[in-house]
Amino acid sequence: MTRTRTIPFLAATVLAAIVAGAAAAATGPSHASLVIRHQTRGCHSWAVNGGAFAPAQSIALKTGATITITNNDVMPHLLVQTSGPKVALTRPAMNHMSAITRVSFPHKGVYVFMTKAGEDYMAGVKTVGEDNVLRLKVTVA
Ligand SMILES: [Cu+2]
């Protein structure tokens, strides 16, 4: 008698765990933070959620998610969307150190952004090599 009640309960628990796992794999978190920093080689780079700094980043987010970009570089960065469903960019110009831009993704899709970098805030900033172009791919599911 206990057996016939225990087995369906276990099966339901396992099924629920599988469904939850699949849902978590298909959609990402609801928020990501990017930080732009100055560096000698390539002038600037950025990182997602405290990860490795690189010029090109990609993020998977769930529908309705937002990203926050903080510009800690020594020059302004303008966020520009280059492809994907059009998103509203409020304050895309990060014109001073620690300036923040937020972007919301109310719809599914693949969105691609880049930044256009301006002149250094102060003279005499030395860098090595071509300036990096920061690129970001956001997949919203
Ligand atoms: Cu820079």
Q: How many domains, in total, are found in the chain?
A: 1
| CATH code of the domain containing 58 | 2.60.40.420
Residue 11 lies in a domain: no
3-state SS assignment for residue 117:
strand
Residue-number span of the structural domain to which 72 is assigned: 28-140
Residue 18 lies in a domain: no
CA of 117 to the centre of ligand 1 (A): 7
- Find out whether 70 and 100 touch, Cβ atoms under 8 Å: yes
Sign of the C-alpha dihedral, residues 37, 43, 47, 51?
negative
3-state SS assignment for residue 85:
coil
How would residue 93 be classed by pLDDT, with cut points 50, 70 and 90?
very high
CA of 82 to the centre of ligand 1 (A): 20
Least confident among 54-63, 70-79, 122-131? 122-131
CA of 61 to the centre of ligand 1 (A): 27
CA of 119 to the centre of ligand 1 (A): 8
CA of 44 to the centre of ligand 1 (A): 4
